[in-house]
Amino acid sequence: MTLVEANDGLGQTYEENLTSGCPSLDIERFNQNQARKAGIVNKIELALEKDKLIIPFEDVRKELLDFKILDDGTMGAVGKDAHDDTVMALGMALAAAEAG
């Protein structure tokens, strides 16, 4: 299965292009929200605490360190040029690995 985040116009366009260009792929569109993001972050935290996840790449470590939970409960990358795409991808990959 291929998951495509379609929260914005670019994601929707990407999902539509993949679906029409690769009809043999099982493509599922999803919209990210704070609850899903929290679940992904919790999976990563638990796997790191239990030494079930090792982060060998510096760019992934940097993005994990840039990821913050703010006072208002929202979460995401904080800082200049900070992104959370890799954090979310890591969490989804972890969930897929756990599912087998």
Got the DSSP string for 26-89? -EEEE---HHHHHHHHHHHHHHHHTT------HHHHHHHHHEEE-TTS-EEE-STT---HHHHH
The domains of the chain are located at 1-31, 32-100
Give this prediction's pTM: 0.68
Quickly state the pLDDT bin for 62 (edges 50, 70, 90). Answer: confident
Give residue-wise pLDDT tens across range 12-45: 888 889 989 999 988 888 888 888 888 888 889 8
Q: Which of 73, 11, 10, 4 is nearest to 37 (CA)?
A: 73
User: Exposure of 26 by Cβ count < 10 A (0-12 exposed, 13-18 middle, 19+ buried)?
Assistant: exposed
**Structure-token match 């914005």, residue found:** 8
Q: Does 7 have pLDDT greater than 80?
A: no
Amino acid at 30: F
Q: Which of 62, 5, 61 is nearest to 29 (CA)?
A: 5
